[in-house]
């Protein structure tokens, strides 16, 4: 094809460097258009090698245009795409565009294998060689693993190791199939890479999913966590990465018949991982993993301050508000959940990690006031707090504020017969009471007796897994909203003991768990 040495490249395939040129007005206009719009550049001038049709124009699918837009408009981006969706081809085209139109750029392609790095570089070269001469930048070196242009830019391809990219002043880093880099190497590489990114580098990451605890998965989880400390949606994740997810149905050449054949060939688990982009693990989620994908969030109806309301307040309904307090110094979130009974529909939610306990009680009071006013004092309101540790401080604040100054009834769990402990207001969480609440919550959700609206809550539910003899958030995730919801579950059970309507609605659950016996984490089959 071409020589791999500087100065002896095949000039029929490349453009000679440092040559003066004359452009027509049309060509100058096209160059400007390509500079402004990398998707236009790919669509109009790049050819790709189709496995059946051979050399064809790169007609971008809709999801490929979205992918290029995410690359172009964000400093950091991470894309999780199904197999054979053209992610490497899109990346190769975009890297070529970047090198030719962004002078003095050093671009690193890091693939999980050396062969993968070579394959992407082959696609870069193929795209370059397909360009009309007036579009192409001149080339000073054209090697198997690198290309250097006369505008000072270069593209380098390497396998991902602990030392990949060291010593290079990188402008753009592209990580291909990053989920399949061995965990130790990926972690050390990412640690070494971080200083480059912090000083202005651009980073693109693409992969199909692998394990849910690898470096790719950790970056992905932070990227899709687009909620700030007040619960507001942000354009990028908490790590600054923009995310894009592409599953198999977005490919226009794939349908249910194709999916059926593919499942028969590779199996259900592999299909879900490679084409549905699911992290298939052995973690036992509280909610059955067949139910989890069906949980859908609702749009926020309105906001009062940082309180998100998902449903209107209805007259003559029962409302249940549970506060799981926190220290309010930037660690765990304090969270309040509001549900309407007996329908068990989420009405409102609040969370924050820097609001002191006194402020948390004031927000609880504000939410009770809104429900009381908008129901024209016809709603029956029950509110409570988790009284463990920090809950003691919450009880002190409530006493100082005056229980009567908060609309509704301060609900406490019934005193157990024969108990010699001092009975405190609120609800005490023990391992046993938590497991009982988890069992009820699981039953309600899986039997469609509970409607959750918050995307933040649903996100936490998907990472709420068995941990020893109980359930908790998977490492790197939070469960504050879930814990506030479990408090509401316990409150609803208590209310059901004296409210026949609520009891009748949820009686199957009451009957199953009325004794509150020993409950162990429920085994969840991984399908």
Beta bridge partners of 147: 142, 155
pLDDT beyond 60 at 520: no
Share of the chain above pLDDT 90, in %: 59
CA distance 70 to 50: 24
Relative orientation angle of helices 390-401 and 357-374, to the nearest 10 degrees: 60
Residue 72 buriedness (CB in 10 A; 0-12 / 13-18 / 19+): middle
Q: What is the mean pLDDT of the chain?
A: 86
Instruction: Tell me the residue length of the chain.
Output: 527
C-alpha–C-alpha distance, residues 336 and 481, integer Å: 7
Res. 518: pLDDT tops 90: no
What is the CATH class of 294-513?
alpha beta
Tell me how far apart the alpha carbons of residues 328 and 247 are, in angstroms, rounded to a whole number: 39
- Residue 500 is predicted with a pLDDT of 59
pLDDT digits 0-9 by tens, 236-286: 998 899 999 999 999 999 999 999 999 999 888 889 889 999 887 656 889
Predicted local confidence at residue 12, as pLDDT: 63
pLDDT of 357: 94
Q: Evaluate whether 202 touches 77 at the Cβ level (below 8 Å).
A: no
Note the pLDDT of residue 65. 96
Give the list of residues 6+ apart from residue 183 with CB closer than 8 angstroms, or none.
211, 214, 215
In 3D space, the residue among 477, 436, 435, 464 whose CA is nearest the CA of residue 283 turns out to be 464
Quick one: which of 252, 24, 19 has its CA closest to 139?
Answer: 19
Paired tokens of 425: 């207001």
β-sheet with 154-159: strand ranges across? 139-142, 146-149, 154-159, 106-111, 172-176, 202-207, 76-81, 241-246
The Cα–Cα gap between 454 and 472 comes to 19
> What pLDDT is stored for residue 397 in this prediction?
94
Task: Confirm if 300 and 310 have CB atoms less than 8 A apart.
Answer: yes
Instruction: Label residue 330 exposed, middle or buried (CB < 10 Å: 0-12, 13-18, 19+).
Output: exposed
Residue pair 193/76 in contact (Cβ under 8 Å)? The answer is no
**What pLDDT, on the 0 to 100 scale, is given for residue 288?**
87
Taking only the tens place, the pLDDT of each residue in 80-93 is 999 999 999 999 99
Comma-separated ranges of CATH 3.40.50.300 domains in the chain? 25-246
**Tell me, what's the pLDDT at 424?**
81
Q: DSSP class of residue 249?
A: G
Q: What CATH number is given for 25-246 in this structure?
A: 3.40.50.300
Q: Which of 269, 309, 248 is nearest to 87 (CA)?
A: 248
State yes or no: pLDDT of 333 exceeds 60.
yes
How far from 39 is each of 53, 70, 365, CA to CA, in Å?
Answer: 22, 11, 52
Q: Where would I find the H helices in 225-319?
A: 256-266, 268-274
- Cα of first residue to Cα of last residue in the chain, in angstroms, is 48
φ/ψ region of 391 (left if φ > 0, alpha if ψ in -120 to 50, else beta) reads: alpha
Contact assessment for residue 150 and residue 14, using Cβ atoms and an 8 Å cutoff: no
For 462, residues 6+ apart whose C-beta sits below 8 A from its C-beta are: 285, 287, 292, 295
Specify the domain boundaries for CATH 3.30.420.240 within the chain.
294-513
C-alpha angle with apex 307: 302 to 310, nearest 5 degrees? Answer: 45
**Peptide bond preceding 342: is omega within 30 degrees of 0, i.e. cis?**
yes
User: Ramachandran region of residue 167, left (φ > 0), alpha (ψ -120 to 50) or beta?
Assistant: left
Per-residue pLDDT tens for 285-313? 899 877 887 888 888 999 988 899 999 99
pLDDT at 522: 40
| Torsion angles phi and psi, residue 349, rounded to 5 | -155, 145
Q: Which residues of 475-513 are buried (b: 16+ CB within 10 A; e: fewer)?
A: eeebbbbbbbbbbbbbbbbbbbeebeebbebbeebbeeb
Residue with tokens 């769990």: 413
Coil, helix or strand at residue 309:
strand
């Amino acid at each position: 094809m071409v020589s791999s040495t500087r100065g002896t490249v095949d000039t029929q395939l490349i453009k000679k460097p440092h040559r003066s040129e004359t452009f027509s007005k049309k060509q100058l206009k096209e160059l400007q258009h390509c500079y402004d719009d990398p998707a236009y550049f790919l669509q109009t001038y790049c050819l790709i090698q189709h496995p059946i049709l051979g050399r064809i124009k790169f007609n971008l699918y809709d999801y490929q245009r979205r992918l290029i837009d995410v690359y172009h408009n964000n400093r950091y981006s991470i894309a999780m795409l199904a197999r054979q969706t053209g992610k490497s081809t899109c990346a190769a085209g975009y890297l070529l565009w970047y090198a030719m139109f962004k002078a003095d750029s050093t671009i690193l392609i890091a693939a999980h294998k050396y062969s993968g790095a070579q394959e992407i570089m082959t696609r870069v070269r193929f795209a370059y060689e397909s360009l009309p001469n007036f579009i192409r930048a001149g080339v000073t070196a054209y090697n198997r693993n690198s290309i250097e242009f006369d505008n000072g830019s270069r593209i380098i391809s390497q396998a991902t190791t602990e030392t990949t990219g060291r010593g290079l002043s990188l402008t753009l880093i592209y990580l291909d199939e990053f989920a399949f880099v061995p965990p130790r190497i990926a972690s050390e590489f990412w640690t070494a890479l971080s200083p480059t990114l912090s000083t202005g580098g651009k980073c693109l990451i693409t992969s199909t999913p692998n394990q849910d605890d690898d470096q790719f998965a950790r970056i992905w989880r932070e990227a899709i966590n687009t909620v700030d400390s007040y619960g507001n949606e942000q354009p990028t994740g908490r790590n600054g990465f923009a995310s894009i997810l592409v599953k198999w149905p977005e490919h226009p050449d794939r349908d249910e018949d194709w999916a059926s054949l593919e499942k028969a060939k590779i199996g259900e688990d592999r299909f879900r991982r490679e084409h549905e982009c699911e992290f298939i693990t052995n973690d036992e989620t509280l909610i059955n993993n067949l139910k989890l994908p069906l949980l859908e969030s609702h749009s926020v109806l309105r906001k009062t301050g940082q309180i998100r309301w998902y449903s209107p307040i209805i007259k003559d309904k029962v409302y249940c508000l549970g506060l799981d307090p926190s220290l309010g110094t930037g660690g765990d979130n304090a969270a309040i959940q509001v549900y309407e009974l007996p329908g068990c529909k989420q009405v409102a939610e609040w969370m924050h990690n820097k609001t002191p306990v006194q402020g948390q009680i004031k927000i609880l009071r504000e939410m009770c006031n809104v429900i009381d006013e908008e129901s024209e004092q016809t709603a029956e309101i029950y509110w409570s707090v988790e009284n463990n540790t920090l809950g003691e401080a919450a009880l002190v604040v409530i006493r100082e504020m005056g229980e009567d100054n908060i609309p509704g009834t301060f609900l406490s769990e019934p005193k157990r017969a024969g108990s010699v402990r001092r009975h405190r207001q609120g609800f005490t969480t023990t391992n046993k009471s938590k497991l009982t609440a988890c069992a009820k919550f699981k039953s309600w959700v899986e039997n469609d007796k509970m409607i959750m609206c918050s995307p933040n809550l649903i996100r936490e539910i998907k990472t709420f897994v068995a941990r020893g003899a109980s359930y908790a958030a998977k490492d790197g995730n939070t469960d504050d909203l879930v814990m506030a919801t479990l408090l509401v579950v316990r409150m609803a059970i208590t209310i059901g003991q004296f409210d026949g309507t609520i009891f009748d609605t949820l009686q199957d659950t009451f009957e199953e768990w009325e004794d509150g016996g020993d409950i162990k984490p429920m085994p969840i089959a991984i399908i």
